[in-house]
Amino acid sequence: MQGADSSLLKRIVDEYMGKVSGLREHCERCLRTERWGGSVVLMIVDAAFTSIGLNYFTAVVPKVEEFSRVFVETGRLTRLRDLANADVEELMAVWRNRRSLMVAKEVAAYLSTVSGDDREALRSWARRASIENWREDPVGRIRGVGLVTFQYLRMMGGVDTVMPDKIVKRVLNEILVKAGLHPVNDDVEFVRRVEWMASVCGYRPIELCWMTWLIQPEGKRMRMEKYAPILPKI
């Protein structure tokens, strides 16, 4: 990549990132595996619920909160092995999508074999998991886990990377085009290009990723502003 392109790219990225001041702490919490009060069960449930493409803030977050009240805060499902062994019919009282509940249960079942410590299990798997070979990974092979969910789990396991979902790709490819660079459609190549963008512009890949979601408008306000009260939790 040419120096002139990199300089223009940085100016454009800086403009976008200037709209989401305060994002860094949220990303730090994600990389420390401390989202949802540090509950790995809720992080797995979050990723599974998110996998079916509903609005994260209006559909997923309220249901993860309900799941927490019904199952986690009551002490019924506090460990990954509890989630792995849970009755899916019982879980459907909170979330009606059986497929994503099975994703949560199967991810929990695999991770519970990695370590007896849930946080270390997720972080250990995330460190070893490779995006290039994600389809052969024990988590990547789980039905219903696509590359976006795979990357989301890695991010919550402490890996500074990007989820190639449609909003992330649209916004960051838009930035590439504005900088006179080519957009990237292939998901794995896209992740690598964004990691390059981050290094050139002085940000972390995870920050660019979260920026794309939080600058989206909902009603008359940007998500970063609208959902400011719940960001410290998630």
What confidence score (pLDDT) does residue 104 get? 98
pLDDT of residue 2: 43
DSSP 79: S
How sure is the predictor about 216, in pLDDT bands with cuts at 50, 70 and 90?
Answer: confident
What is residue 4's predicted lDDT score, i.e. its pLDDT?
A: 46
Amino acid (1-letter code) at residue 97: N
User: 222 φ, ψ to 5°?
Assistant: -80, 150
pLDDT band at 3 (very low <50, low <70, confident <90, very high): very low
Residues 70-84, mean pLDDT to the nearest whole number: 97
Q: What is the Cα gyration radius of the chain?
A: 18
pLDDT in tens, 110-160: 999 999 999 999 999 999 999 999 999 999 999 999 999 999 999 999 999
Partners of 218 in the β-ladder: 221
Whether the CB-CB separation of 157 and 127 falls below 8 Å is answered with yes
Q: Check pLDDT > 90 for residue 47.
A: yes
- The answer to whether residues 98 and 51 touch, using CB atoms and an 8 Å cutoff, is no
| Percent of the chain residues topping a pLDDT of 70 | 98
What are the boundaries of each domain within the chain? 3-29+163-226, 36-156
pLDDT band at 231 (very low <50, low <70, confident <90, very high): confident
36-156 is a CATH 1.10.340 domain? yes
- What's phi and psi for 34, nearest 5 deg? -125, 15
Beta-sheet strands, E only, within the chain? 217-218, 221-222
The closest alpha carbon to 79, from 50, 49, 45, belongs to: 45
What pLDDT score does 50 carry?
A: 95
Torsional class of 195: left (φ above 0), alpha (ψ -120 to 50), beta (otherwise): alpha
Could you give the CA distance from residue 151 to residue 109 in angstroms, rounded to a whole number? 18
- Residues present in the chain in total: 234
Which residue has tokens 């860094």?
24
